[in-house]
Amino acid sequence: AVLAAGAPPPLVELLSSGLNEGRVEAAGALVILSDGVAANVKAIVAAGVIPPLVELLCNVSEEGSVKAMGVLTNLASGNDLNKAAILVAGACPPLVELLSSGSDEGKAKAAELLMNLGCDDDNKTAIMAAGGLNP
């Protein structure tokens, strides 16, 4: 019902231009909406959510980064097109940075997302180039 009511575009707008607290809350809502329902994932991606989520990885609080990684993990799960879009949006460098400088939860979420993205050989190359995997 939330997606049918048109929730993704306003949430993406809030991610893109809202105050930090609003951005974190929007990411939290998107974690829930993107969890396991292919139609929801498709609608969320179509709203243009990937670039602002990647930006949220490094420009807001640790909580914002963790929630952004949660959404990105949900979007990437089993979807090669979304994985490629996440990489094209520049997710590798901030994810690799979070592996070494994030909280324990942030490190675990970054590792989970990188593992999910790295299931494809082309993606492994991008992750290695960002310093995320040893050759």
Structure confidence by residue, pLDDT tens digits, 87-114: 999 999 999 889 888 789 999 999 899 8
- pLDDT (tens digit per residue) in 29-61: 999 999 988 888 999 999 999 999 999 998 768
- pLDDT (tens digit per residue) in 2-39: 666 678 899 999 998 878 889 999 999 999 999 988 88
Average pLDDT score over the chain: 86
Within the chain, residue ranges assigned H as helices are 8-17, 20-33, 38-46, 50-59, 62-76, 80-88, 92-101, 104-117, 121-129
CA distance linking residue 42 with residue 75, whole number of Å? 8
Q: pLDDT-derived band of residue 135, with 50, 70 and 90 as boundaries?
A: very low
